[in-house]
Structure 1
Amino acid sequence: MRTTVGIIGGGPAGLLLARLLDRAGIDSVVLEHRDRAYVEERQRAGILEQGTVDALRACGAGERMDREGLVHHGIELRFDRRGHRIDFPSLTGGRSVMVYAQTEVVKDLIALRLAEGGPLLFEAEAVAVEGAEGDNPVIRFTHEGRERTLSCDIVVGCDGFHGVAREALPEAERRVYERVYPYSWLGILADVPPSCEELIYAHSPRGFALHSMRTPTVSRLYLQVPNGTDPDDWSDERIWDELDARFAVDGDWRLERGPITQKSVTPMRSWVTEPMRHGRLFLAGDAAHIVPPTGAKGLNLAVSDVVVLAKALEHWRATGSEDLLDAYSDTCLRRVWRAEHFSYFMTTALHTDPDQSPFDGKLQLSQLHRIADSTAAATELAENYTGLPIG
C-alpha cells in the first residue's frame, strides 16, 4: 500500500487528522489495531475546549455535537462546605466548554471517514515504523492474518503511550519527563440525571471528588482513592455514601443516586516525551504526552496537535516548504507544557496527598479562596480551562 500520510491510531487524534487532511486534498490511511465496536465504546474524556469545538465544526464534524452536546458556561469549586462558581464567558471574553463524550466524537469521525474519506482499517496492528530518517518511511502492520507494509511520505503516531510510534524515536534523542501522583480516580457511570447543571470540583479532607455528566440522564462521577484500589472493593452504596460526604455543602443541595453501570480506576500521572518529531515521523496526542484528567486537557491537547500538524502538512504540499513541519514539535510543546502545568495545579490544589501536613492543607485552602475571591486568579483558571489559542 502507498499513501501520503500514514496514521497509526484510530482514536480522536488520528481520525481528526485524517478528516482535516481529507478537506485539504491530502490522502491518508488510518490503521487502528482494535475493532470498530471497541473504539466506539472506549470511555475517555468528556469536556471539549472552545478551540476543540471550533475545530470539529470547521471540518464538518460538529452537527451531532451541537445537537446533543451540553454547553457549559462555568464550573463550581466546592470547599469548606461552600460552592464558588467560576463564570467562563465573563472572564474569557465569551468562551465556554462543551460536554460531549470522546466516544461520541469518535463515532462521528468514523462515520464521516467511512462515508467520505479514505481507508480506515480496523484490527490493523502496527508493529514497526522503519526509515523515518529518509523520504519514504514504512509502517509494518498485520491485518486479516497477513503481514503488510504501508509506504508513506509522512508517518503520524496517534497510537498512545503503548504504541510503536513513540518507540521508533531513537533513544538517544528522546527526553522523557514524568510525575506520578500518589492517588488514583475511581470513576463511575450512573443512570441518574446529574445533580448539578455544571461540573463540581470538590476539595475535602476525605479526598477529591468530581461531579460531571455525559447526558441529561447519565452522570459521571469520580472519587480520589489510593493507588492500587480494586473497584470491586467498592460497593455501590459505599461509593454513593462517600460522594455524599465529599460533596457535602451547607444548604439544601442533594446528590441524586441511581444504578451504577460502570466502575473503573484511573492512575494519575503527568508525562511528556520530547521532541514530538523524528525525521518524517510525528507524534500526536497520548503518544507524546499524558496529563492527569483534573484539568480536562488530554483530548483537547490531541486536537491541538493535529490541527497544528494538518496546517503544516497543507503548507508543505502547497509550497514545498517544510518550515511549519520543522516548527511542529516546538509549537505543540509550548501548549503542552502550559496544559501540563494547569493540570498539575488543578490536581495538587484539589487532592489530598496521603503524606501532606496540616500546613499543606491550609495552603490548598488559601489558594482555593484566592480563586474564589480574586478576579485575576479566577480569570487565570477560566482561560486555561476553556483553552488557550491553538497554534
Structure 2
Amino acid sequence: MASDGSLPDSMRAQFLDDFNTPYSLRTVPVPTIGSPNEILIKVDAASYCHTDAVLAAGQMKPNPPSLPHIGCHEFAGTIVALPKDSSSTFKIGDRVGVPGRSFSPCGTCFECEAGPTPEDPDADPPGYSVYCSGALNNGISRPGGFREYAIVDSRQLSPIPDGLSAVDTAVLMCAGVTIYNALKRCALRPGQRVGIVGCGGGLGHLGLQFATKMGFKVLGVDNADAPLQVARNIETGARIVDSRVQSADDVAIEIGAEDGKQDRGDMGLDSVVILPESQKAFDYGIGLLRNHGRCVLVSFPERGFHVSARDIVFRDISIVGSLVGSNKTSREVLQFAAEHGVRAVLKTFPLARLNDLVAEYHKGEGGKLVIDMSLPD
C-alpha cells in the first residue's frame, strides 16, 4: 500500500509460464473485486506446498491449470479492500489466513447443501463446502498467493489469532489443516497410539506437534537423515524411527511389549497417517497397525497404492482418505496452534527469490519453505 493508505495500481507476481520451467517475476495490475463475497488482501506470507511442485511439473491431473499461472494455495495477509455494502464480518486491517479451497462454490450441489452431520460435525454450513466440485481453488485453478495482492473469497478466511505471525499462519492453511484433519479422522481417544509416516516433512513435523498436544502417544517414521533430524529436534516426546534401520514388525512388537500385550495381533498402533507417495511407506505404516487399526491416507500417488486384501479381511484394517478440512476446522487449527505453541520449522525467502526456494524444496530436507513479503530482495 502507498504511504497514504491508498492502493497501488500495480504489483509484483511470480508466474509459471510453462511446466518444468522457473517462475518469472513480473509487474501486473492489482486485481479488483468482482463479487459481493470477494475481498482484496495484501499478501504477507505465501507458503510452498508439495502440490505446488506437482502442479509446476505438469502432473496436476486430470485438470492442469491454464498458463501462465500464479501458484500458492496456503497464504496469509491483511485485508485492504471490501466490496461496497459488504455483509462480511471482516473489516479492513484484519489479518487472515487463506486456504486453497474453496473459491466461489456453487452453493447448490449436494456437497454445498449437506451441512454438518452426526458423522461429520465439522462440515461447512449449508451453502458452502470445501468439497464443492464446481468451486475454484486459489493457486490451483485460479491465481494464488505468490503475488503482492490477491482476491480471496471472504467465506474461506480464518482470522489470525494474536501470537501467530503471517509466516506461521501461511504454513497452517494447507499443511497444518491437512494433517490436523487427518489426525481427527484417526478417530482416537487421548492415550491411544498414532503413527505419522513421513514425520520430518512439511505436514509430518506439524503432525508430531498436533498429535502430542491432542494427548496421543506418537510414533514418527522417516527414512532420510535431514527430515529425521527435523523430527528429532522438535521437543514433542514422540518416538522417532528410522525405517531404514528398524522394521515395522520389530517396532510393533516393541510397542506391544511396552503395553503388556501378549498376542501379536494386539501389538502396534491404533492408527497411522501416511504422508509419502511411496508403496514402501504405505506398507510400513500398515505393518505398524494392530488388528482393527485405521490407516488414514493423505498422499495420492499417480499409480495409487497396492493394498493387501489379507490385511483388510483377516486383520480388519480400515483405510480412509483425508483431504484438507472445513472452514470450521481451519479456524480451529489456528486457535489450537496459537494456544499450544505449534510452529513449523521453516526457512523464509523474499518474493523475488521464489526459484531459490523451489531449489531448496527439491533438496528434501524437511520442514516448510515460505515467501515472506517483508523481506528485501
Higher relative contact order structure (alpha carbons within 8 Å, sequence separation ≥ 6)? 1
Bigger share in helix: 1
TM-score bracket for this pair, using the shorter chain length = under 0.3
Output the TM-score relative to the length of structure 1: 0.22
Bigger share in strand: 1
